[in-house]
Amino acid sequence: MMTRDEWGATCQAVLDASVPGTHFSPFEIADVGRRIESVRLQAPPIPLLDNALRLIEVLEWVRSESRVAPVLVNSFYRDKYYNAACGGVPGSMHTMLAAADIVKNDTSPEEVQELLEQHPDADKFGIGSYSNFTHLDVRSYLGRTAPARW
């Protein structure tokens, strides 16, 4: 089992090599050690980082397209136990390191969803608009049916 420090160093090395200058940190991707009651978030398997890198490319695009507010991550990776503890659906894309729930200050979830629809690969995504965040996943890269909208 990887410690928080090991995750931070390993993930940062992958980010530095793959997405230089990214605005996302290892602990936004997986806040290893975060708790919901007695359930503590574990580090994701390193091979799943490829999914995160695809998602980060889209999130960086969202940031560059709007230039005003940063993309804030509410939830990115969740292991299956943490996902269950926070009420996530079984088989959630979050458990595959392929989904993020995001917020942009001064931008409604519907506006974020509209922006995501303009992405050149929007037909490969799952995009959901909730009352206070927008869900984005890269489902087609994992063989799931896309696009998906809600």
Q: What's the pLDDT tens digit per position in 95-147?
A: 999 999 999 888 899 999 999 999 999 999 999 999 999 999 999 999 999 99
Q: Where are the alpha helices (DSSP H) in the chain?
A: 4-18, 26-29, 49-66, 80-85, 109-117
Total number of domains constituting the chain: 1
User: How far is Cα 127 from Cα 85, in angstroms, rounded to an integer?
Assistant: 23
User: How far is Cα 52 from Cα 64, in angstroms, rounded to an integer?
Assistant: 18
User: How far is Cα 16 from Cα 88, in angstroms, rounded to an integer?
Assistant: 30
Residues 6+ apart with CB under 8 A from 40: 33, 34, 82
Q: What's the pLDDT tens digit per position in 19-46?
A: 988 889 999 999 999 999 999 999 999 9
Paired tokens of 128? 């959901």
Asked if 32 and 44 count as a contact pair (C-beta separation under 8 A), the reply is no
What is the model's pLDDT at position 71? 87
Asked if 48 and 96 count as a contact pair (C-beta separation under 8 A), the reply is yes
Domain of 28? 4-149
Q: What's the pLDDT tens digit per position in 54-105?
A: 999 999 998 888 765 688 999 999 999 999 999 999 999 999 999 999 998 8
Domain containing residue 125: CATH number: 3.30.1380.10
Concatenating the DSSP letter of every residue in 122-146 gives GGG-EEEE-SS-EEEE-GGGGT---
Q: How many angstroms separate the first and last alpha carbons of the chain?
A: 35
